[in-house]
Structure 1
């Protein structure tokens, strides 16, 4: 038993928009057995471009029933049937969201006629409702009105059933998780994804990467992106934009995490939000003043000068400098932290101060060792405290020779996120770190 649904709305996502018209066509798998349609008062203005597209104006819905007044009837029509729509995630997200606001929890299975049409009629030029109806000679009246589109979708659904010689409908109903997949993403592409660690790439219609992610299990993680149907604007746009998935297998999840960070910085995908902040802009620098003191100071990072340490916020640099001053008994005035000391008499002897600062610098530099981390058949190389690169290596061949190791690795640019991950890893797994 099926319910073919079409809706018109005030806008493109359910979190900030409402339904203006709904049509439900009841179908038993052989023929239409009932219809329901109604305008709906959205209790908000309809955007002008939407009015132009659908022909539904604010005046038309002003006296229509509110969704909450229709909710019980709509829920009863849908609750025991498979929810069918053309791009089902869009219609389902609105109906489920507004039913929930009225106190009803819709949990029906879903079926997408776009996905079904791709399987049964694979040679159509496009799969929008207008194109499909034109190519298959299905009458489509009142385009962009709920009743007209729902009736056309019901006729399309019936035609799909009649031409379903390989049982695609049953497969989709049985494997209902596929109905969460974006309408433009082939289920075969997802089925062929590997069950291993790696980095995956979502691509748009033009093949441009729009999202990069890492996973312990690529296939499982990719599917998890579609395991809910959030009504937010970003989620709905994200689903519409995904046309393909590619991937790069990695030996371990940690390697995948490092490579994900590298790729986000390289590609800058539109839907990646994390890791897209600016790199650290401040540093603690050391220089000798006219009196011979080794001074520590905070300044913006410079291309030609290398800081002792880098920071994203100037406050972080100040806190670190104060910590060094207290732990190592460095006079705050010689770190530009205390401007009360006006005369040289209030400062420590030059030799005493410089010895303290020199020892601190040695301690910091000692942490910048050259080492490698072996992860399965891959290695990560850090040279003088700076990430060099990673890649597959010949087992036990030249692992203790830096040059031999570098010859087998791919060099990548370091970034602050990656640096932080390496630091945490070496602290957690010191036994996996080999000093060269």
Structure 2
């Protein structure tokens, strides 16, 4: 039996070396003609299958190579058990000693304690490695749990820091930069749920252009049926193991926010283009348009500015939710977004609070100023790219980029530096 000296990575290597020597000494006993004959065995079998007459001269060849086969099988049976025991334990110990060098001396002492017991019970060397692997696996699991706690703590700190940044931002340039980074999922927190745009809207070029024109995308659907996973703050536990799966059926719609030109002081050149864009959007007859303006702030009730086509009474989106995907076919539909239903008072359920839970706390720069919330929707269930449609109208109205990409990135970088946020490569361009 192979003698094991120390249960370290060096010892494991010695075990493998000794086993290899045993293999070599066994294989060398196979004569040279056997190895050559094994190489030609498949052609011989093929010939006897195709040409039955060849069987008469193939039988002597078979008798010639049979002794070699009898040598190979015992060698395989001798090697396999040791290899099966040694490889997993070797990998485990190598991983641990690589991460924690102090463990080598502990492994060496532990092996000398275990060696007499292994000899008494006639256990193979692999047992020592497995027994030593148990505490190592426990330590690895403990360290992994501690690293998860550290990640959760950093995640929570970033949440708090970015919530403060959104609340305290005073520049529309920095606000637009935050919106773009949030739409692309490069920052850990934003004031509204943008998970669908982040993960299920891969072509964001038109949204990116709209943001640079001072338009904030809030929600969008292409239409049809889609299955996706809801965003949750849980990073572990049963909620992380079984996330909520939503199967949604919707008509195409696009909701976005336009900051009124009067609110953006110092930018008079935008006034005419912005007003022309709102007018062209409200007078087009391809899609129903709903505009609700909040002249002072989001605290007051908005007024219906325009509804060029009366919106349909059917829901914008219905869906099913479950943590177990195979239960979705048995779930009943619920209204995910009522959308176009007009009330008797002609007020439309379209508000910044539909997306931002606490606008005055999370987006005061927008909520406290004159702004308009707009929804573009389709009467049909067919897929539509409404973000492209809206951008085309903005382009034709002369609404150009207010800020460049570099300006917005530098504004976000300054904001992060001010609040001590370490992002590295998360923010594009930093």
User: Would you say same fold, with TM above 0.5?
Assistant: no
Higher strand fraction (1 or 2): 1
TM-score, length of structure 2 as denominator length? 0.21
Name the structure with the higher helix share.
2
Bigger radius of gyration: 2
